[in-house]
Every structure is written in structure tokens, then in C-alpha cells.
Chains A and B, each alone.
Chain A
Amino acid sequence: MKIIIVGCGKVGTTLAEQLNKEHHDIVIIDKNAGVVNSISERIDVMGVVGNGAVNKVQLDAGIEDTDLLIATTNSDELNMLCCLIAKKAGNCHTIARIRNPEYDSQISYIREELGLSLAINPEMAAAMEIARLLRFPSAIKIDTFAKGKKEILKFIVPDHSVLNNMKVRDVLVRLKCNVLICAIEHNAEVIIPGGDSVISSGDKISFIASPVESNEFFKQVGIDNNVIKTAMLVGGGKITYYVAKMLENTKIKVKILEQNAERCNELSELLPRAMVINGDASDQELLLQEGIGQTDAFASLTGFDEENIMLSLYAASQSKAKLITKINRIAFENVIDSMNLGSIIYPKLITAETILQYVRAMQNSMGSNVETLYKIVADRAEALEFKVVNEPCIVGIPLEKLELRDNLLVAYIMRNGRFISPRGKDTLEEGDRVIVVTTVTGLNDLKDILR
């Protein structure tokens, strides 16, 4: 597909990088010549310098035969204008980043009127992820497959768990839980486990199961999946607002710490059910006073990455609360991963992933057949849901006879609404949906699972 990306900030760059890897033809547009040059040197994309909402610039970028335009500049209005003009000039699909909460209530109206295929709000997307985590605190990451019937969850194996030093093949037998362990992160390594792979404490494990099964599994493994009753959110930004709004009708009590008194007033007005506290979160006494030791969940969502990291580390030392840390800049990922920060939220990555999912789905309608895609470990392991089409080299052949790629696992087959945990003798049939976990990124078609 031919894709134009307007605005080369973090999201734009991440998208360009990823989409280029997935063999799309990318043209980037940015006002800053330096940025355009440095990206087009690093990634195999074409760069155009200029304002993306100007028709001439779009024509230079080849809008006429473009399939999709993604606008991720700083300005919501500019993004909308880019999409509007692109729609008229190239009749292509358009995706805009619209993040101002004021537009939020009329987002569907905007989408409809401007003909946007997707309007994405990074803070909203991040908040949804956080809210999901708060509802299911034991996991560091949750995604759903097959319309919510299966979940993929990631958690850290605790020190004294029965899982320690257990082989993957024994998990099913000894714990009597029907879960499928699909990725093990051991230190900085990601492996797709075979039956003989050994789990040790401290590993991050991703597994696929239905919600009931995963509850059972957590119980067996010795992780208490306590329901969260109180959550402390530090920083009163947009994400905090969205999270609190989403939790408003649940049983979770929300406490918000914010430094700016004016903002506190606003929040309290907007969120009548939340408790808003005006104070500096780096004041340890205040944190203790507000019950950092007793809270069930602690989310550091201030605008500063360093502060968020420190706050989470402090919270970890004071309580057993479920930790959530927001990180804006995607750098030193492996260092950050090695710290005990609980679930880490990268709003920009979430935005990029949502758009990627849309692009894959769009490509799906143009031939390739990825239904959903989840990143288990950024850039290094993915879970994909495919729809099986009549492909003679795959359909009807027992899995053990298929020459699958290394580091690839066929996790589930869904046939007529039933889930099959595939064994060697099972076959894929037309109309099935199949979930594949792999460290080979950029698969586009079910055929790609073959060597």
C-alpha cells in the first residue's frame, strides 16, 4: 500500500519505521527539513518538506495514488485539515490524531463529517489501556482476541511460584489449567517456548487463555488477583482525566494528586466522584498521608518521565499496590523494562499500534488476511489473528507436516465458535480463525508462517 504520513514526531517515526518493515511504500511530510532528511536517511522512505495541508505538497507526495494518509502533527486542527484535503485530492483513507478533550464529545460527528477512517486520541487510548489494567491488576499487559473470548496476558513470575523451574509441557498437567504459554521474556531475550523450555522466577510470561481460565491460572500460580478498590493517580493531565472518567461508574475509588490548584478545581468539577488532592507528589509525607501504603493501585501519570519512574519505584517500596508508569519518550526501553515499574504505558506506542492495527485490517480487505495484531514485546514478538482462506499449501495439512518457521507457534484454532488447542495432528480448514505467536515480525499473510 502507498501511505503518506504527515508529521514526523515520535508517533510518525514509529509508524514510518514499522510500516516500512511491512513493505508499504511510505512518503513522509514534515515542515522541518532536518527531521525529514534524518528519517529518510535512516528508513527507506521518501521525504517531502512542507505543510501537509497544502495541496501542492500533497501532490508532490503523490496523493493521487495514495491509499492512506495518516496525520500525526502536533495540531488537531492541522491534522483534520490534512485529512480533509487529502480526501478531496486523493480519495484515500485518512487517519487523524485528535487529542483535544474538547473535541472528544463530538468525535464521531467529526469523523463522519470529515470522512475520517479513524480518529485516534493518544491519551484516550492510553487511558483505556490503564483502565483495563486496573480491572485486571495481576497482568502487566492485556489484549483481547476473537472479540474478547480469549485474552493474551503478560505477568512476571513471582519468586516463590510453583512455576519456578517448571517445564512448559508440565504446566498443563500439573496445574490442570488450559492456558497456552506463548512467549517467555528471560532477561533481554524473547523466546517462543517449546515443551522443554523452562520457566524461572522473574521471567515475563505471556499466555493466552479465556478470562475464566486465566483467573484460575493466576490462583494456581500463587498470584492473588485482588480486585482493586482504590486507585491513586498522580498528575492531573488528560490521561488521568480519561481514566477517572472511565472508572467513574465502577467500584474503584479514585484519588487524584495534582500540583496545580486551578487544575484541581477543574478536575473536581469534571469528576464529581473522584477525590482530588492539591499537592506535590514528590512530597513523601503527603503520599504517606494519602495512603500510598494502603492503596491497591498506584499510577504515575505526570508529564515527566523521570518523576514517574521515581514515584513508581517509591510506591513499590512502600506498598504492594499494582503499579502503572507512564513513559513518554521511547528510549532506553530495555533499561526501563529491567526496573520494577509495573505496567509501563507508552502513549505514543499505543497510538502507533492502534494505527498499525487499522492499516493491517485495511490491507486485509485488499488481500492480506491479518485480522488483529498485538505486540507482545515491542518489535520483537507479536501475536496475530488470521482468517484461513483456501490456500492449498496450508489448508488440510496436519500441523506437524507443515514446515513452520522457527520461533513460531500456532496458538489456537477457532472453528465454528469453538477453540481448539492445536496438536500435531490438527489441521487448518477454510473459514477457521487462527492465532499465531511469533518473533518474526511483519507477517502479512497466513502463508508467511511457512518457511
Chain B
Amino acid sequence: MNKKIIIYVLGWILNIEAVFMLPPCVVALIYKETSGIWFLAVAAVCGGIGFLCTRRKPTNMVFFAKEGFVSVALSWIVLSFFGALPFYISKEIPVFEDAMFEVISGFTTTGASILPDVESLSKCMLFWRSFTHWIGGMGVLVFILSILPLAGGYNMYIMKAESPGPSVGKLVPRVRTTAKILYGIYLFMTALEVVLLMIGGMSLFDSLTISFGTAGTGGFGIKNNSMAFYDSYYLQGIVTVFMILFGVNFNVYYLFLTRHPKDALFSEEARAYLGIIGVSILLITINIHRGFGSVFAAFHHAAFQVASIITTTGYSTVDFDLWPEFSKGILVVLMFIGACAGSTGGGIKVSRVVILLKAVKKELDTLIHPRSVKVLKLEGKPVEHQVMRSINTFLGAYIVIFIVSVLIVSMDNFDFTTNFTAIAATFNNIGPGLAGAGPAKNFSLFSTMSKYVMMFDMLAGRLEIFPMLLLFAPSTWKKN
């Protein structure tokens, strides 16, 4: 294990975090809030430590998969720790684990909150809370890759560890250019949403924070009743569309931008994703239309909730905990499916689900025709054995962590729906679950231990499990 290089990478994380803490300071200046000083203080500390760690490039730049996974996992923990400090020091979230929970929920783009009254926070804190979504959505290390000239091929390991999806492809030969393109698309789409929301009459602050939440598929609202506050079909519609857009694999946009719009339209994953969304909206609309004044209203709210859950954003316009069981059931299924690989969303990912379903079909075929040979394909390309294996292992680890988490949280003695959906909502980086963890409730009622379990789940969910598991595996830290 090359510890020096990991410290070096962590140093850069702190440097970047220091820079990211400056926008909240600006917000504090604009709204004349004194709590902005805490951001400045923490930024100074981050910058100082970061400067010390990155002052000298380590001589040994050897960097393998192990170092990649460990530095990604550690980076997110360090990032969350320092990100939580402003909340904690300013006493706006007086309990440390609550502050930590809130920030991890932000960076991992979960959007689960422990705050009973969001509106009581100062503007700069609210801004930071939403801004963490935007930072965490595309990934901090990817951001670092896009701006820093870290020479050497090892950055592929970082990209692999941080980007969601079964197999990470590059758009162009260089990781750095790829990262730049991804952030370019991300930035552009965010800006577009801000503009469209402002056209609909939203204030700049609100549209910025809402857009951050949408872009990172996070879901921190800045009002107690989330998106229901903006009672306008236009505003909610815009957010719906953008949630769906941010849940699409960013490669598709790249293909659009370059010369292959045809390939983009034929992306199997994007089609499956849109298909699932369409069917879910249809079924839920039929199921709930009696409760709403018109079919259009039912369709609108169904669409918003479906988009919010499948992209793992977690905004809500209505309390879907009050919906019929069938609709709730669909939403829970969507929680697990999640968004596309290579998007900012969480969950198991559509491409994994597609591959798994194909594998099941293939297995059935081989039972009937034992000697038949069939190659699994996704996007017209054969799925390598390696990828198949990693998907199976991912699913195995996913189920184990899920079950253990539910068991631990059950000690708090809430009903099963609460426990189950609370873990589903945090592990898949969604935010609200059902019952006690529903959209109208918050996570403050859980015990400290449950909160820590959920913090782990959120990080594991965002980093696709293995980096976090490797971090705690003893063999990672042994010599040789």
C-alpha cells in the first residue's frame, strides 16, 4: 500500500473542499448572515491541511486498484467530516452525528434529512447543504481528475472506483478529457435548469438550490414540504424532466454532442430506463387518479414521484405515503432499480438489472437446451464474463449489507416498513422512504447507532459498495 500517494490525493480533496466552501461564504455575505464565518474558518483549515499534504509530490507514484479504492473511500469520509464541521460548530445542527448524517446524505446525493424544520437553517447553511449534492453527484475525484494534471495511468482506477455502473467506459482516450466533458455536460444542464426555473418565477437562491438537488439527484428541499411548496405545474414539471434527464447515462449526451445521435437513441439502457418510467407512471396514474381532481393532476404527481424515486433524487410534491399500497409497492421497486449507470443517480442501476434479467433468461434457455451456447449482449456488445461476475458479486454484497442494516436498525423497534424503506432510501441514495421514514417525516427519530449504519449505507451505496468494504477489510491494510 502506497500510503503517501493516498495522503497526497486526500490533500487535494481538502484543497478542493476549501474552494467549494467559498460559495456559501458569498451567500452569507449577500444575506448578511454571520454564520458564513464558519465556512471561512473551516475552509482555511482544509486549505491549510491540504497545502501541507500536497506541498510535495510523492516520489513513489505507484498506484494500483487497491490504492484507488482506498483513496476514494477515504476521500469521501474526509470530505464528509470537514463538510459537517460548519453545521456543527455554528450549532445550527448541534449534535455531531446529525451534522455528519446530513452532510453524508448531501454528498452521497441521498437527501435524507434529520432536520425537523429545514426552514430554520440560515441561508448559507441551506446553500451548502444543497451544494454538497452538486459536488457529490458527479464525484469529487472526477472533478479533481478534470482539473489537475495528475500524470500517469493510475487515474483510471480512481474513475473506476468513483463512477457508478458495472463497467466504466471512457468517452475519449484521456481520463482527464473524459472528466472535463462529463463536468461540462453536468454544468451546462444545471445552468439550463436554473434558467428555466427562474423563468417560471422562482428566486435565484431557490432555483440554484433546487437545481443542485436535481443535478446531483440528491433531493434536499429547502422547504419543510419539499417541492410541494412550489405549487406550479410548470416548476414541478421542469424539475420532473430534469430529474429524468440527470438519471440518463451521460455517455448518451456525449454521443448526441458528437456525431452519433443514432447510437444515442439506440442505447439499450436509456430505452429500458425510459420504458420503466413510462410504465410506472401509467400504472400509478390509473391507481391514484380518484384521489386527485383530474387525471392530469394524477399524472403530474405520479410522474414527479416516479422520476424522483427512480433517479434516486427524493423530492416530493405530495405525501406518497398516503397513496394506495400498489403505488407504494411500485415506488419501492423503483427504489432498488435506480438510475442508469454513468449518471448521477444511485440504486442498483438499470444496466445491471437489464443484464441480470437477460442472464436469467439465458439460464432458463440452457435448462431447456442444455447444450445451447448464447452470448449475453448489452448495447450490441457482448457482456464479458468479468462484468457478469462483478454484477453477481455486487448483488450478493448488496443483499448482505441490506439485510444486516435492516436488522441493526430494527433494534430501534419501529415497524417493518419504516426500517426496510429507511435502509432502502439511504442505501440507494434516495432520501424519503415510507411510513416512519416517509416524505413528510425525517430521520431524526432513529438512534445514534442506526444513523451510523445509515451513514455507512449511504457511502457504500454511492461508491457501489466495494470501496467501502475494502476500506474495512483487514487484508487491505496488511503489508503485501
A18 at the interface (CB under 8 A from B): no
A41 and B156 contact, CB distance less than 8 A: yes
B155 and A44 contact, CB distance less than 8 A: yes
The 8 A CB mask of B129-161 against A (1 = contact, 0 = none) is: 000000000000000000000001101110010
Partner of B173, one of A27, A33, A37, A41: A27
* Residues 161 to 176 of chain B near chain A (Cβ within 8 Å): 170, 172-176
Partner of A44, one of B65, B152, B384, B386: B152
Partner of B384, one of A2, A20, A33: A33
Residue of A nearest to B160 (CB): A41
Please name all residues of chain A whose beta carbon is closer than 8 Å to the beta carbon of B160 when the two chains form the complex: 41
Q: How many residues of B contact A (CB 8 A)?
A: 16
Please name all residues of chain A whose beta carbon is closer than 8 Å to the beta carbon of B177 when the two chains form the complex: 25
A45 at the interface (CB under 8 A from B): yes
B172 and A43 contact, CB distance less than 8 A: no
Interface centre among B155, B172, B173, B386 (most CB of A within 10 A): B173
The 8 A CB mask of A35-64 against B (1 = contact, 0 = none) is: 001001111111000000000000000000
Residue of B nearest to A21 (CB): B151
A126 at the interface (CB under 8 A from B): no
Please name all residues of chain A whose beta carbon is closer than 8 Å to the beta carbon of B152 when the two chains form the complex: 44
B157 and A44 contact, CB distance less than 8 A: no
Main SS at interface, chain B: helix
Bound together, the chains give a CA A37 to CA B160 distance in angstroms of 12
Given known A33-B384, A37-B386, contact A42–B172 (CB-CB < 8 A):
no
Q: B181 to chain A: closest CB distance in Å?
A: 13
B173 and A2 contact, CB distance less than 8 A: yes
Bound together, the chains give a CA A41 to CA B157 distance in angstroms of 7
B172 and A46 contact, CB distance less than 8 A: yes
Bound together, the chains give a CA A44 to CA B154 distance in angstroms of 8
Please name all residues of chain A whose beta carbon is closer than 8 Å to the beta carbon of B170 when the two chains form the complex: 40, 46
Give the 4 A-B residue pairs with the shortest CB-CB distance, closest first.
A25-B173, A43-B153, A46-B173, A44-B153
18 example contacts (A-B, Cβ-Cβ < 8 A) are as follows A2-B173, A20-B153, A25-B173, A25-B174, A37-B386, A40-B156, A41-B157, A42-B153, A43-B153, A44-B152, A44-B153, A44-B156, A44-B174, A44-B176, A45-B153, A45-B173, A46-B172, A46-B173
Please name all residues of chain A whose beta carbon is closer than 8 Å to the beta carbon of B65 when the two chains form the complex: 41
Please name all residues of chain A whose beta carbon is closer than 8 Å to the beta carbon of B386 when the two chains form the complex: 37
Bound together, the chains give a CA A368 to CA B386 distance in angstroms of 42
- Count of A-B residue pairs with CB < 8 Å: 32
Q: A50 to chain B: closest CB distance in Å?
A: 9
Bound together, the chains give a CA A2 to CA B172 distance in angstroms of 10
The 8 A CB mask of A190-226 against B (1 = contact, 0 = none) is: 0000000000000000000000000000000000000
Q: Chain B: residues with CB nearer than 8 A to chain A?
A: 65, 152-153, 155-157, 160, 170, 172-177, 384, 386
A44 and B175 contact, CB distance less than 8 A: yes
Please name all residues of chain B whose beta carbon is closer than 8 Å to the beta carbon of A2 when the two chains form the complex: 173
Bound together, the chains give a CA A448 to CA B175 distance in angstroms of 24
A41 and B153 contact, CB distance less than 8 A: yes
Q: A113 to chain B: closest CB distance in Å?
A: 31
Bound together, the chains give a CA A2 to CA B156 distance in angstroms of 19
Bound together, the chains give a CA A338 to CA B170 distance in angstroms of 41
Residue of B nearest to A17 (CB): B153
Please name all residues of chain B whose beta carbon is closer than 8 Å to the beta carbon of A46 when the two chains form the complex: 170, 172-173
Q: A160 to chain B: closest CB distance in Å?
A: 38
Interface centre among B152, B153, B156, B160 (most CB of A within 10 A): B153
The 8 A CB mask of A10-37 against B (1 = contact, 0 = none) is: 0000000000100001110000010001
Q: A4 to chain B: closest CB distance in Å?
A: 10
